[in-house]
Structure 1
């Protein structure tokens, strides 16, 4: 595992789209980075996340897939990737300082309580600069039926 400082930084949405088009099995994770997520394990296959509601350990890191689904057909990959980023762009504000998006390659081993993939065999690929997230938000906003990020609010 490489430290986050050693990871390349993707500074534009187009760079991330290129990565998604070249690789399968990519996920985006919003956390304090791979060094925090992988620090206590002897193997990246043993990684785990914790369910925020119950505190239950989960077998793998919770992350969101970047692979384009077949039903997306010939629609722009940029819009697919932008949506995957924009949907969870609220997490740094909700989870606190030091939380940022990073891309990993891995294998889905289960599902978390929000139906999110749990990923093991984690290989950190890159971190995402805030400009990439800004470009994703702009790409979503340009769509005819735009919406904001997914967010749980008080009842």
Structure 2
């Protein structure tokens, strides 16, 4: 996978192992579930779904490994970060897809999620990666479900 400055020609991350390799080699990556950079970057802000308040950055989920994760597999961490929000295309819009970005945290949203600005799109996360993430999570003892509030 090659990162691209042109979001219209964005690369595709095709496997969970490819994503894991990216996380091992780079800090400051986030995953965002949306229609993509073409919809998000002209005015890089999110809105609070409950109040409609405009937020000072794009709502995204951090991919950097937390210290408390210890020596557990990075592959499982990556799977967890994708799996937690994999319900979004079903509850928001079927066109919503995950994409990787690098950015600077500008604050926190109403769900304590990072709000990211100075966004550099890295690549789309292929549906095959989501399928692999689901399989990885199903192998875990006491597997959990995505964070679907509905």
TM-score normalised by L of structure 1? 0.91
Question: Which of 3, 10, 14 is the matching residue for 2:7?
Answer: 3
Paired residue for 1:69? 66
Q: Secondary structure at the match of 2:50?
A: coil
Pair 1:146-2:143 in alignment: yes
**Separation (CA, whole Å) in 2 of partners of 1:3 and 1:104:** 10
Paired residue for 2:41? 38
Question: Which of 8, 18, 21 is the matching residue for 2:21?
Answer: 18
**Separation (CA, whole Å) in 2 of partners of 1:55 and 1:68:** 31
TM-score normalised by L of structure 2? 0.94
Which ranges in structure 2 are unaligned for 5 or more consecutive residues? Answer: none
Paired residue for 1:54? 51
Which ranges in structure 1 are unaligned for 5 or more consecutive residues? Answer: 42-46
Pair 1:115-2:112 in alignment: yes
**Separation (CA, whole Å) in 1 of partners of 2:139 and 2:10:** 31
Paired residue for 1:84? 81
Moved over 3 A (4+): none
Paired residue for 2:96? 99
Q: Secondary structure at the match of 1:27?
A: strand
Q: What RMSD, in angstroms, separates the aligned Cα atoms of the two structures?
A: 1.0
**Separation (CA, whole Å) in 2 of partners of 1:62 and 1:77:** 23
Deviation at 1:148, TM superposition (A): 1.1
How many residue pairs match? The answer is 146
